[in-house]
Amino acid sequence: MIFNKEPILGIDISDFSIKILGLGEREEIEFFNRIVIEEGIVKDGFIIKKEELVKVLKNALSRIEIEKGKVILSIPESKSFIHFFRVPDNLTGEELINVIESKVKKTIPLDPFKICWDYQLIPSSEKEDGKFVLFVATLKEIVDDYSEVLIKAGLEPLVFEMESLALGRALLGNLKQEKKVLIIDIGARTTNINVFDRKGILRDSTITPIAGNRFTKAISEKLEISEVKAEEIKRDFGLSEGKEKLKKILEKELNPLLEKVKRSISYCNNEVEKVYLVGGSAMMPKIADYFSLNLGIDVEIGISPIARRLKKKSLIFNVVIGLALRSLEKNPEKAGINFLSKKRNRKIIQEEGKVKIITKKEKKVSGAKKKVFTALAGLFLVIAFLFLFWVVYNSFLIEVKNNEDIEEFFIEEITPVDKKEEIIILETGTGWLDVRSGPGLEYEVFSRVYVGESYPLLAEFENWYKIGITDETEGWVSSRYANLK
């Protein structure tokens, strides 16, 4: 195709395929391609073999005769951290960002220097006090690796966003629902339960390890067949009548997921009017009927109207459609969450075939090296030091006062857990999760727990769980990577 300007592509890269989509101003499909990638190039959202992925991506682009363009890319939900919280109404600009950073440091389980993050203010009702913030973060390693691959393939990274936001845009863009909607993304490793309000804004997100691989493993064990055969049976028959033994196995595995969905609905004051099922395991026969019967809500398989115009009318294209729809915004880069947000002063450049991420701090250092000191530099440094000491001292007094005011706004009590409950550690991307001496990143890490392990739940505070590691040892872990067993 011949473009008057550089195209903006929606690109969805999974462990097994690359999907590329471009839309015209009226949402007509201008180009589309899906290409399968070999196992092991990408694994669980991490790029294992960069050069091979570059080759596959170039091949996919050549098939639709594109050599360059800007990219809107999805980051796997399992590699994203989501947090909702409230801030005072009077906060704006740098003051708002400082408070967000302060709040997040107490809740996210990630090193703040190893993440890329962005936030979005959510409209609140007249009855609600303060501003509501959607905060999202992902590993800097993932952002840098995908940026490098795109640049080496001749593309320019423009927007990196979460899969759930792309799904909401693809499925809810033209709807005018009166109440909230759930989009349940049942993947291979995890299931994401996302709540959207009537304006299509993400209001809550929950992740659980109850997903496709778990279903397949249960079928394999109960029927004493290989997991390959179990996956085939699950896909072909699912919850169909006439396969009662298979149906009972799946129902037993799906019941805990249903309970989590009911909790999300309860959190929304039972104002959910519709549920969409997406993801690979959502293609199991009769699964929508099973959810609808048990929830008492209209449930259907979520397929974007644009997907129905593709040769294969499948829900596996929802994410790339949502990404391509963002390209139609007046300013796609600023039209929502963006892990490449300029708020972080990050710039991606390519020099002599090498990709480098330039931060604001590095720019200042580079500029400083070009300055030539005069013979009076020593005197100026002494004066500057004295002046800086005076400024820092006064700023410290002001900061202490501001922090006292802000902390009063965020005071919350630790909630003890009376009943005996256990939590299970979820997939973290590293295989382990830090245990801290208190509920926040400012507390010391003194131990680690590992994916799949279970521990008694002792208390809750914001997005942290207090667990009993041994009879004599207790600690705090992020609830983002732990779930009630």
Work out whether strand 29-36 and strand 115-122 pair parallel, antiparallel, or are unpaired. Answer: unpaired
Mean pLDDT for 452-456 is: 87
The full DSSP string for 430-457 is SSEEEEESSSSTTSPEEEEEETT-EEEE
What number of CA atoms fall less than 13 Å from residue 339's CA on the CB side? 31
Q: Are residues 443 and 401 in the same domain?
A: no
**Would you place residue 312 in the very low, low, confident or very high pLDDT band (cuts 50, 70, 90)?**
low
Q: Are residues 154 and 186 in the same domain?
A: no
Q: Are residues 207 and 153 in the same domain?
A: no
| pLDDT(356) > 90 | no
The structural domain count of the chain equals 4
Residue 253's pLDDT is 94
Q: Are residues 254 and 356 in the same domain?
A: no
- Judge contact between 238 and 274, C-beta under 8 A: no
- Lowest model confidence (mean pLDDT) among 14-18, 269-273, 341-345, 430-434: 341-345
Residue 427's pLDDT is 79
Structure tokens at 272: 């959910």
Q: Are residues 343 and 436 in the same domain?
A: no
Q: Are residues 388 and 299 in the same domain?
A: no
Mean pLDDT for 49-54 is: 96
Mean pLDDT for 234-247 is: 92
Q: Are residues 131 and 166 in the same domain?
A: yes
Q: Are residues 149 and 11 in the same domain?
A: yes
Of the residues 286, 304, 322, which one is the last residue of a structural domain? 304
Residue 162's pLDDT is 93
Encode 402-434: b = buried (16+ Cβ within 10 Å), e = exposed. eeeebeeeeeeeeeeeeeeeebbbbbbbeeebb
Residues 372-391: pLDDT tens digits? Answer: 344 465 666 666 666 666 55
- Judge contact between 148 and 51, C-beta under 8 A: no
| pLDDT(418) > 90 | no
Of the residues 283, 304, 325, which one is the last residue of a structural domain? 304
Provide the domain limits for residue 194.
175-304
Closest of 314, 239, 302 to residue 275, by C-alpha: 302
Residues 249-293: pLDDT tens digits? Answer: 999 999 999 999 999 898 888 889 899 999 989 999 999 999 999
The DSSP secondary-structure symbol of 109 reads S
Of the residues 382, 411, 440, which one is the last residue of a structural domain? 411
Q: Are residues 402 and 437 in the same domain?
A: no
Helix (H/G/I), strand (E/B), else coil: 6 = coil
Q: Are residues 360 and 329 in the same domain?
A: yes
Residues 183-217: pLDDT tens digits? Answer: 999 988 889 999 998 888 898 888 888 999 999 99
Residue 288's pLDDT is 95
What is this structure's pTM?
Answer: 0.73
| pLDDT(399) > 70 | no
Mean pLDDT for 454-465 is: 86
Residue 225's pLDDT is 94
**Would you place residue 313 in the very low, low, confident or very high pLDDT band (cuts 50, 70, 90)?**
low
| pLDDT(417) > 90 | no
Q: Residue 202's domain is classified under what CATH number? A: 3.30.420.40
Q: Are residues 364 and 295 in the same domain?
A: no
Q: Residue 15's domain is classified under what CATH number? A: 3.30.420.380
Q: In terms of pLDDT, which residue wins out, 100 or 353? A: 100
Residues 143-163: pLDDT tens digits? Answer: 999 999 999 999 999 999 999
Structure tokens at 18: 């690359």
Residue 389's pLDDT is 61
Q: Residue 420's domain is classified under what CATH number? A: 2.30.30.40
Mean pLDDT, the chain, as a whole number? 82
Q: Is 75 exposed, middle or buried (0-12, 13-18, 19+ CB in 10 A)?
A: buried
Measured between alpha carbons, how far is residue 398 from residues 105, 138, 392, 402, 438 in Å? Answer: 21, 32, 10, 6, 27
Residue 125's pLDDT is 62
Q: Are residues 245 and 345 in the same domain?
A: no
